[in-house]
Amino acid sequence: HFRVLDKNNRRYQSGTIEDCQKTLKQIRTANDLKPDTGHAVIYLHGIGRSSRSMRPIPDAMPKEGFVHVPFEYPSTRVPIEQSAGFLHSLIESLTDVSKISFVVHSMGGLVVRRYLKDHRDPRIDRMVMLGTPNSGAELADMLKRNMIFRTVYGPAGQELVTDPNGTIATLPTPDFEFGIIAGGKGDDRGFNPLLPGDNDGTVTISSARLAGASDFLRIPKIHSFLMSDETAIAAVKCFLEHGRFSMEREPAPIVRESAECR
């Protein structure tokens, strides 16, 4: 099931991909819309959310120099692999852009990493992850057998566990510049004392960290509101432009031997 949506999530068409492509072509022709060019920034929301949750970031970003592309996908209805396939289709459709970056929240980062397992577009430049459980979510470990959790979060929810033999453990590390923003209090309890170590209430700092990151930033914000934090938004903009979260401090890259440290 596919949909054609405008920037306000107003639906123009739903049905097969062929139906939607036909409608989109008609809209482009009727409005003389030209293909997007330049630097495309694709925004991926987390599980159970929508592209609207990411809107504070593109709304605060410069309109010149960037093409902002919200990616809407059925995060609770299909496995991560299938969502990555939808992402591939989107990237393939961006035929006229010269550069592609990602800004991702939570499971959105795992969708990109799953995409990278099968594909590698040479136009991909940078990515910023916000609260992505790169080593799995301990909260999913606790809730995976709960019927409500299974019903609400679907097959992808079952893949968010910290199982060393699970889906997340098989995902590749990006081979391009990426930075990580994680929420936490800067102590050993975080926002949720049921989780081990500092955390944003849902994802631990240790799980958000991933060796190879060019820069790392902790902000005192809970998981669901990382995308609307002013510090995070400024850091995203700086990273997309310069490959670091701030020009006023040295980057804090994550090297392999310290990836598990808090």
**What residue ranges do the domains of the chain occupy?**
1-33, 38-258
Q: Which CATH architecture has domain 38-258?
A: 3-Layer(aba) Sandwich (3.40)
Mean pLDDT for all residues in the chain: 94
Q: Does the pLDDT of residue 259 top 60, yes or no?
A: no
| The pTM of the whole model exceeds 0.85 | yes
Please indicate whether residue 15 or residue 101 has the higher confidence score (pLDDT).
Answer: 101
Q: What is the model's pLDDT at position 260?
A: 47
In this predicted structure, the answer to whether residue 32 has a pLDDT above a threshold of 80 is: no
CA angle 237, 46, 24 (to 5 degrees): 80
**Count of residues for the chain?**
262
**In percent, how much of the chain has pLDDT > 90?**
82
What's the confidence (pLDDT) of residue 206? 98
pLDDT-derived band at 119 (thresholds 50, 70, 90) equals very high
Tell me what the mean pLDDT of segment 248-257 comes to.
91
Among 131, 133, 112, residue whose Cα is nearest residue 176: 112
pLDDT tens, residue by residue, 199-223: 999 999 999 999 999 999 999 999 9
Measure the CA–CA gap between 25 and 38, rounded to whole angstroms.
21
Whole-angstrom distance, CA of residue 33 vs CA of residue 80: 32
Instruction: State residue 257's pLDDT score.
Output: 63
